[in-house]
Chains A and B, each alone.
Chain A
Amino acid sequence: DGGITQSPKYLFRKEGQNVTLSCEQNLNHDAMYWYRQDPGQGLRLIYYSQIVNDFQKGDIAEGYSVSREKKESFPLTVTSAQKNPTAFYLCASRNRLSGAKGDQYFGPGTRLLVL
């Protein structure tokens, strides 16, 4: 898992509730990413950020929001607009200057369940 931490490991959401997933890295990486993983499917990109105070939508951004106020932190909020939030959420970071071969380092993941 490198220097990336995610919390909590498990998160339960009630109907109509917003929840926030934490992602912190001490790798001094500029770029950070949020993915969603569902059974039988490849990881899908939700949001990514190349630098502080800037972020871009990925393939499935609807119902999610992010912020990037610090280089080390990239929290993801799952809003009530996300109707099917049950999934395994993975955060990753990357050295933006490492070029195309630079690896993404993943956190241990947060499993979100709906009550």
Chain B
Amino acid sequence: KNQVEQSPQSLIILEGKNCTLQCNYTVSPFSNLRWYKQDTGRGPVSLTIMTFSENTKSNGRYTATLDADTKQSSLHITASQLSDSASYICVVSAKSYNNNDMRFGAGTRLTVKP
């Protein structure tokens, strides 16, 4: 079982609408949580990163939240644009001696329609 579960798998919304993507994790001991945006056929690009003590982080129209007690995170996209169409990947890092233990969710595929 994957240690990082994302929902929904896919989502279609109309341009200008808001949406929220979910990420649940079991990774332990927790170090940090990242959200990446991946356009089709491209590499992922970092949107936000949160540590245990941070419960919200914004990057423009993207706002990520973290509840470390329930091991849940969400990514809220406000006033969606066509360019937001992409996969959004939740990545949870475990504390490790070399900071290399990253666990990737399968992603949520977002389609924004005009």
Binary CB contact string for chain A from 38 to 49 against chain B (1 if under 8 A, 0 otherwise): 001111110010
| Distance in angstroms between the alpha carbons of A40 and B4 in the assembled complex | 13
The answer to the question of B102 belonging to the interface, with a C-beta cut-off of 8 Å to chain A, is yes
The total of chain A residues at the interface (CB under 8 A) is 28
The answer to the question of A102 belonging to the interface, with a C-beta cut-off of 8 Å to chain B, is yes
A108 CB contact (under 8 Å) in B31, B42, B104: B42
Of chain A, the residue at the smallest CB distance from B101 is: A45
Q: Once the chains bind, are B32 and A50 in contact (CB under 8 Å)?
A: no
Q: Once the chains bind, are A111 and B51 in contact (CB under 8 Å)?
A: no
Counting chain B CB atoms within 10 Å of each CB, the highest count among A41, A42, A43, A45 belongs to A42
Chain B residues closer than 8 Å to A99, beta-carbon distance = 99
Chain B residues closer than 8 Å to A15, beta-carbon distance = none
CB proximity to A under 8 Å, residues B69-114: 89, 93, 95, 98-100, 102-107
The total of chain B residues at the interface (CB under 8 A) is 26
The answer to the question of A69 belonging to the interface, with a C-beta cut-off of 8 Å to chain B, is no
Q: Once the chains bind, are B32 and A100 in contact (CB under 8 Å)?
A: yes
Chain B residues closer than 8 Å to A96, beta-carbon distance = 98-99
Q: Once the chains bind, are B46 and A103 in contact (CB under 8 Å)?
A: yes
**Which A residues are within 8 Å of any B CB, using their own CB?**
1, 4, 31, 33, 35, 40-45, 48, 50, 88, 90, 92, 96, 99-104, 106-109, 111
Q: A43-B104, A109-B43 are in contact. List 20 more A-B contacts (CB 8 A).
A: A1-B42, A1-B43, A31-B100, A40-B106, A42-B4, A42-B103, A48-B100, A50-B100, A96-B98, A99-B99, A100-B32, A100-B51, A103-B34, A103-B49, A104-B46, A104-B102, A106-B43, A107-B43, A108-B41, A111-B41
A-B complex: 6 closest residue pairs judged by Cβ atoms: A106-B43, A42-B104, A43-B104, A100-B99, A103-B46, A100-B31
